[in-house]
């Protein structure tokens, strides 16, 4: 669940001359705090599973967490350096609050013998050694499919072209991040204020 990435045409004028990425120096400073938040998000997903942690806490805490994600995204898109730093600190606290709440509730962390990856269709693939290890997968209401190493081997045989590409270019990888449970922030085109009219922010996600 990485933070939103700010993308713009290098030849275009700055939308916000006071933005956190308005100069090389402020960009480096901003990336330093953003990278820390993204690293923590990756750590939490490795601990709890893909997009699972926010589903293990109360609706009230989940709403607070999503609101903080919204604020951070708004800071990435429109904020100055100090605003970005502030929202990164709050986002770090939000991740740790979810982690603590899930632990206090007795939720089960991701078993180290289970590897998870988000797929293009929004589902999650859990890879285990064999059928005996399948019981270690924690679904938690997610759209999740379990694959054993033997099944993966059969998929490699069926996907011969991909296998050949992997052999030809060692280290080649395909990366995609999708949500199985709909992410409320995905429907918002631009993060600016909670008071923005809905018709300006929302668009079809189908």
The domains of the chain are located at 24-109, 115-168
pLDDT > 90: percent of the chain: 35
**Cα dist. 179→22, 27, 51, 87, 123 in Å?**
32, 29, 7, 23, 7
| CA distance linking residue 75 with residue 187, whole number of Å | 18
Structure tokens of 198? 């809905």
Higher pLDDT: 109 or 86? It is 86
Higher pLDDT: 6 or 43? It is 43
Give tens-digit pLDDT for 143-185.
777 788 787 777 776 655 555 554 455 554 444 444 445 666 7
| CA distance linking residue 104 with residue 65, whole number of Å | 17
3-state helix, strand, coil in the chain (%, to 5): 50, 10, 40
Higher pLDDT: 200 or 59? It is 59
> Is 205 strand, coil or helix?
coil
How much is the pTM?
0.64
Higher pLDDT: 99 or 185? It is 99
| CA distance linking residue 42 with residue 119, whole number of Å | 16
Higher pLDDT: 20 or 115? It is 20
Q: Could you report how far apart the first and last alpha carbons of the chain are, in Å?
A: 20
């Amino acid at each position: 669940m990485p933070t939103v990435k700010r993308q713009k045409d290098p030849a275009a004028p700055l939308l916000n001359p006071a933005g956190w990425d308005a100069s090389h120096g402020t960009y480096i400073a901003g990336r330093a705090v953003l990278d820390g938040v993204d690293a923590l998000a990756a750590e939490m997903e490795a601990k709890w599973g893909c997009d699972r942690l926010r589903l293990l806490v109360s609706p009230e805490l989940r709403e607070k967490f999503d609101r903080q994600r919204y604020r951070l995204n708004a800071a990435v898109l429109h904020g100055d350096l100090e605003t970005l730093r502030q929202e990164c600190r709050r986002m770090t606290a939000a991740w740790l609050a979810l982690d603590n709440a899930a632990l206090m509730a007795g939720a089960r962390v991701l078993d180290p013998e289970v590897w998870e990856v988000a797929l293009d269709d929004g589902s999650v693939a859990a890879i285990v050694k064999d059928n005996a290890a399948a019981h270690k997968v924690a679904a938690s209401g997610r759209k999740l499919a379990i694959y054993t190493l033997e099944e993966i081997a059969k998929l490699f045989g069926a996907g011969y072209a991909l296998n050949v590409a992997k052999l030809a270019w060692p280290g080649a990888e395909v990366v995609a991040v999708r949500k199985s449970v709909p992410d409320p922030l995905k429907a918002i085109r631009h993060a600016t204020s909670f008071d923005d009219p809905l018709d300006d922010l929302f668009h079809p996600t189908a």
